[in-house]
Structures are given as C-alpha cells and as structure tokens.
Amino acid sequence: MEGETVWGTTAIVGVGETDYIRGADDHVCDLILSASMDAIDDAGLAPSDIDGIIPPPGFMTTEEIAANLGIDDISYHVSVLMGGASPTAALQTAAMAVSCGLAENVLVTLGWNGYSALRPKADARPSKRSMNLGPMGETVRNLYAPYGLMSAAQHYSLYLRHYVDTFGIPEEAAATIALTCREHAHNNARALMRDRPLTRADYDASPYIAEPLRKFDCCLETDCAAAVIVTSVERARDLRQHPVVYLGGAEGHPQPADEIASRSDLLELGIHRAAPRAFGRAGVTAHDMDVLEIYDCFTYVVLLQLEALGFAEPGGAADFVAGGTIGMDGDFPLNTHGGLLSQGHCWGLNHVVEATRQLRHDAGPAQVPDAELALVTGYGDLGDGSIAILGRDR
C-alpha cells in the first residue's frame, strides 16, 4: 500500500502539558519550554536525543526552543499553519520525518497565552510575540473584519447558522456536547473547570455570542502549553512508556480554504475530505474507536465533525449524541479530559496528550477501560481539518 512506511511505524512516547490557567504568571516561552521538557522526561529521553522540532504557529521559533532546551543538533524542522488543526496535522509530518529517516525523535509543541494576551495584567510588559494567523490573516482583515466579524465565533457562525437552519438542529444537541465535556473535566485535576459544575439551566441562561453560539458553546481561552515526542515504534519499545502507535492520519481543506462565504457547499469542511483518507491509511473504521477526542472550539463544530467522520448522516449527529453515547459509560466517550470547552484550549494538542494517556491506560479517573484505539481531530482557520488515529502497542 502506498505510504506503508509511514502508517503504523511511529509512536508517541512522551507527553507533557502545563496547567490550564487564566492569567499565568509564566511567560509564554516558559510554558512552551516547560511542557517540552516534561515530554522529553516522560519519554525517558534527554534533550540531546531530540533532532526534530515542529514549533507552535507563532510565539516561539524552533531555533529558540532548541537553544533553550539544550538541543544541539536539529536535523529537521517545519512549521504547520492550520490554526487549531496544526498540532494534529503535525503528527502526520512528524511520522513522515521519522519514517523517512529525516529525524529520530521529533518534538511537537504548542503553547500560548490565549487568555493573557487579550487581558494583560496591570503590571505586565506587552509582548510582541503573537500567533501566526497564517491564511486567516488576509481574509479576516480584508473580508470579515470590515463587516464587524472579528472573532472565530462570528466567522464560523456564518455556516453554523446554515447547519442549524437546514437540518433543524436542536439546541439540546449542542448543550449535550457542552455538558458532557464539563462532566468529563471533573475527572481531570488539570482541567480549568475541574470543580465548576454546569447545568442545562446555566447553558440555557447563557447569552448568545454569535447565533447559534451561546457562551457555553464556546471553548475556554487559556494560558497553557503541551508537547509530545514522536519516534519509531522500534525505538519506542525500548523507552520508558508503553508506546502509542500513530496508525494513520490525514489533513483536509475546504474549497476554497481561504474564504467561507464563496463555498459551493457551506458545510463541507476539511475533515470531510480528511476522514476517508485517515481511515483508509489506518485500516480501521470510525466504529472501531474506543475513545474520541474531537476538536471542540465550538459545540456545533463537534456535531459537524461527528457527521464527517461517519458516526451519523448529515444532520444526524444530534440523534447520535443523545442518550449518553458520548458519556464515560457510552459507546464513544468523547473528550475524556474535558476538551477545549472545559479543560482548556491548547489548540488540540491537549487532545493528543489525553488520547495518549488513555491508550497507555494512565488516564486516572477518566480512564476508558481497555482502550485500544483513539481518534483525535483538529479543526482550524476557516475549516481546515486534521485527524490522527492512535492505537495501543501490542
């Protein structure tokens, strides 16, 4: 099969993440370096073992990360610019680099001051470091911002409204996503909302931000960082942790990828194109999955992704999520860490970290019994999508 050297030959061997905080005292660079060093330690490696880096989209460069961690020989690095789809897409790139022999141990990291950048403390020195908006920058500046559409909630509501009105999606379905993620966050000591309950009445009382999105349909802006280490399955078996194999993955982009309003189908996202590729490469189906870590920037975006992945027909995700299917005791526990909605927003690299813990059987109170297969999605910019299918090594 084409690409057979890439799929199933690499593994995640180290994970690290900071706390998820609103108003971190640490500089964003320290968040990134701290998560990175934790991931290297977790793998039982030394910084000098790292020879590949995929840095965050913005904030910090490969060169700075290497110099600060004490990495002395970088043989491969690349930036992935797909907004929130970046880290999950980066796993594909890391697997390619390792399986081609471009690097042995690749560090994928992402961190940001997603809360503090917009709300600096009174005594804070302003930082010139910022995210690289990539392809979104030009479009938002020229086409959306002049119409008063500055935030992601507003941009995505351009097609989420179409989704809700076309299929009659009940608010109940979005509330189910929000409440499920919140419930799962209560199993996770690292989650920002670990001890903050959310009721349906709270959800119903929350104000609209951009219809159909209410406040509790929107994820949490947080200061945080995460990191993972990818190496070959062979090397992974000699390292400290139980290897979590990268069985397959894919990225996809809507058409056109740089603008929403002009799409012939407003509801065909990148993940619709990525899904058949990812399942084909991994040789599994959606219904084989034990755990789902779905990019949850907004509740309705989760519903659309579940449909794209094949868990339901278009418009059918509302029925799919009803009745506890995505709860801890359901067939497809979703966002077992609380997700972006209730753990915190680390651009989905926190989803990769959680999937890895689940497949190591090291997820504590959030553990899905005997989890063997996990699916992670990323979603970013104006609908780019990425997928990673991970499996517990034999």
Partner 1 sequence: MIGSYVPRPEWLMLDWHHACLEADMVTIQRCASCATWRHPPRRFCAACRSRESAFVPVSGAGTVRSYAVSHRSMDPGWHEATPYATLVVALDEQVSLLAATTSTPNDLALGMPVQCSIERRSDDFVLVWAEPSDETPDIRPAASGR
Amino acid code (one letter) for 364:
G
- Sole binder of partner 1 in the list 184, 263, 357, 392 (CB under 8 A): 263
Residue 80 CA, distance from chain mean position: 13
Residue 142, SS3? helix
User: Which of 259/331 has CB closer to partner 1?
Assistant: 259
Q: What is the 3-state secondary structure (H, E, C) of 219-233?
A: CCCCEEEEEEEEEEH
- Binding-site string for partner 1 from residue 194 to residue 233, where x marks contact by CB under 8 A and - marks none: -------------xxxxx----------------------
- The verdict on 262 binding partner 1 (CB under 8 A) reads yes
Q: Are strands 52-54 and 10-17 parallel, antiparallel or unpaired?
A: unpaired
Cα(134)–Cα(112) distance, integer angstroms = 16
Handedness of CA 184, 180, 340, 98 (dihedral sign): positive
- The verdict on 146 binding partner 1 (CB under 8 A) reads yes
User: Which of 256/324 has CB closer to partner 1?
Assistant: 256
- The verdict on 130 binding partner 1 (CB under 8 A) reads no
Where does this chain touch partner 1 (CB under 8 A) — which range of 26-34, 38-46, 258-266, 329-337?
Answer: 258-266
Cα(337)–Cα(180) distance, integer angstroms = 10
- Sole binder of partner 1 in the list 162, 194, 277, 361 (CB under 8 A): 162
Report the first-to-last Cα separation within the chain, whole angstroms.
Answer: 22
Closest CA relative to residue 226, chosen from 12, 11, 20, 79: 20
- Sole binder of partner 1 in the list 264, 329, 369, 394 (CB under 8 A): 264
- The verdict on 48 binding partner 1 (CB under 8 A) reads no
User: Which of 210/390 has CB closer to partner 1?
Assistant: 210
Q: In which element (H, E) is residue 179 found? A: helix 171-185
User: Which of 129/162 has CB closer to partner 1?
Assistant: 162
- The verdict on 165 binding partner 1 (CB under 8 A) reads yes
Q: How far is the CB of 216 from partner 1 (least distance, A)?
A: 14
Interaction site with partner 1 (CB under 8 A)? 141-151, 154-155, 157-159, 161-162, 165-166, 207-211, 259-268, 314-315
